[in-house]
Amino acid sequence: MSTDSDNTFTWTELDRRAVDTVRGLAMDAVEEAGSGHPGTAMSLAPAAYLLFQRVMRHDPTDPDWAGRDRFVLSAGHSSLTLYIQLYLSGYGLTLDDLKGLRKWGSLTPGHPEHGHTIGVETTTGPLGQGLGNAVGMAMAARRERGLFDPEPSFGDSPFDHYIYAIASDGDIEEGISHEVSSLAGHQKLGNLIVIYDDNQISIEDDTQIAKSEDVAARYEAYGWHVQKVDWTSEDGYKEDPEALYRALQAAKAELGRPSLISLRTIIGWPAPNLQNTGKAHGAALGAEEVAATKRVLGQNPDKTFDVPEDALEHAREVVQRGREAHAEWNKAYETWRAGNPERASEYDRISVRRLPDGWTAKLPEFEAGKAVATRAASGEILAAIGPVLPELWGGSADLAGSNNTTMKGEPSFIPEEYQTKDYPGNRYGRTLHFGIREHGMGAIMNGIALHNGTRPYGGTFLVFSDYMRPSVRLAALMKLPVTYVWTHDSIGLGEDGPTHQPVEHLWALRAIPGLDIVRPADANETAVAWRTILENPHRPAGLALTRQKVPTFDRSQFGSAEGAAKGAYVLADASNGQPDVILIATGSEVQIAVEAREVLEGEGTPTRVVSMPSVEWFEAQDEAYKQQVLPPAVRARVSVEAGVALGWRTYVGDAGESVSLEHFGASADYKTLFQQFGFTADRVVAAARASLAKVNAAGHGSTTGN
């Protein structure tokens, strides 16, 4: 989109003034807010301006243009680095929006939020996450290329573009950066370009206090193409946009490796007293320092949010260049559509996350009476729906055989030279191999989901969801359709012992707003769970699946598995239709509740079993349905789940009992563990009697409440 060719570079007085205007706006916005991060936005002003004005292909009048380059500000604390470029480039942000930085109701929150502000590709703030998202976007771009236009060389397809990211020392220090950068190098993502702002300052001032590694050498070891641009010298600090431009052009030309440009800057430049200090990183500079800096810049210190009209007009010329680039891209895109009508139709469907007609017919139905681990059922479901849902792709954090995440017959997503005997594949493959990088997997999946319509899933053991939690939380915050296949969901995994047995995890994950946790009771509930998850393109979901086999219920004798889509349903009702006690269970414990019901019914106690695979889905139902499943007047209730009881009080009430695990597990086979820790029909029966006794002691009796 640049007006410069690869061999020429122009940087005019108007460009310089526009960059200095960025610095003034950054200082003023933080002063107005009373908090924020001015220093990085000041020193990165030339780099960000260069990207938006000379390097990136983008159209401010169509921020969702599929052919655009993506920009990820991984250093989300420096949100003004992005906001001011969106303002200057004509994305619709105004000076009033910049004045509203970090304030209630503004389009400029403290950290960039996807879906809130036009032009923000992902929510960043937790350091390292944006870097992981950028890797995911680069992987998604390659996967989509393989789906829609695999034949041309890079640069000759309308689906080719670059992912640009700005990362800080904080991003580089966070452990997630190792996971995602290592995988990016292994995947040879030549469409990924990262500018590392090497300013050597963080909140605790000089980073030497905590960091001394050679970052460039580290990235070279990952297999990245690494360049250094240093604006410091013995003669002083001199910003050299042309040197950075040349480095960016070289990075674009390097198609076989991701690129890191280590850019040495001085934070807070050119503030006379606070440049190169931790104080410039995370706090307002103060009126005196702002005034002094403006004098250095040749600006009027008495004016705030001052934008020279000619500088703004010059920057806004990017709008016309973007429209021209977009029009040129449209020609190639329409040519592609004309020559590939079937692929174009698939692209139209996938890019808006519309599922194909009739796809649910491919979902398997599992034979009643046969014992099947829900992780195995999930694997069969993926194999069955894979051929009709090409947008669905994923893998595991080195646990594919345990998570059952590999679709049968599908090639791995891997450079051909790295395929193995067990996992043949190619650059456009489908099966992802994240390696033992759970946190990185989570952030990468978010980037994939953000890119343009494909649906990622990733597997590991439920206990290791702890490693993924920050990424999971951001998926919920951004409403991304990411699916987590979390297997080995309880002490039922057995001999691996307490280090691998999740106890507190289900309720800890249920505590994340916007995340659906689904723990199906049998294979057919698992099929309904997958269908329901895929039918909702606006929420992440975690499947908690068993290692051990569980019985497949005979639905002619029990409630339909379709009830799982509502989060909870009556699996087995009281023999007289009027329960005295309700047993609420999830996952592998549902069978125990069913056994307990038989005992209670044999004693003359009408008993209902409710399978509740998803608390979130149940809470989304209307009040009439919820009362139908859990009549308020039936106060004798028992929850049964092999984990802490933390949230079950909501459903069992003050007279209820919980059969739970309030301590860590142990190493033994699962049958022994369930017996020793009280996950038995006898224990559930005893809990039901205790709950009934509470109700009767209170003198309320028991009614149906229907």
Interior/surface letters 34-53, b for 16+ CB within 10 angstroms, e for the rest: eebbbbbbbbbbbbbbbbbb
Give the DSSP letter of residue 153: P
Helical axes 523-534 vs 374-385, angle rounded to 10°: 50
- The rounded distance, in Å, linking the Cα atoms of 53 and 520 is 51
Mutual angle of helices 129-148 and 175-187, in 10-degree steps: 20
Parallel/antiparallel/unpaired status of strands 232-233 and 236-237: antiparallel
Q: What CA–CA distance (Å, rounded) separates 68 from 91?
A: 14
Q: CB under 8 Å to 627, separation ≥6 — which residues?
A: 705
Contact between residue 566 and residue 622 where contact means Cβ atoms under 8 Å apart: no
SS3 string, 169-224, reads HHHHHCHHHHHHHHHHHHHCCCCEEEEEEECCEECCEEHHHCCCCCHHHHHHHHCC
| Closest of 207, 266, 208, 240 to residue 40, by C-alpha | 266
Task: Check if 438 is active-site.
Answer: yes
Backbone φ, ψ for residue 163 (5° rounding):
-110, 115
Residues facing 611 on adjacent strands:
569, 585
- Report whether 1 contacts 322 (CB < 8 A): yes
| DSSP helix/strand/coil, 233 | strand
Three-state SS string over 402-435 comes to HHCCCCCCCCEECCHHHCCCCCCEECCCCEEECC
Where do the DSSP E strands lie in 241-319? Answer: 259-264
**CB-based contact 18:87 (threshold 8 Å):** no
Of 593, 699, 693, which Cα lies nearest the Cα of 641? 593
Q: Count of H helices and E strands in the chain?
A: 26, 24
Place of tokens 């260069």: 50
From 113, 121, 179, 438, active-site residue: 438
Q: Which residues participate in catalysis according to the annotation?
A: 438
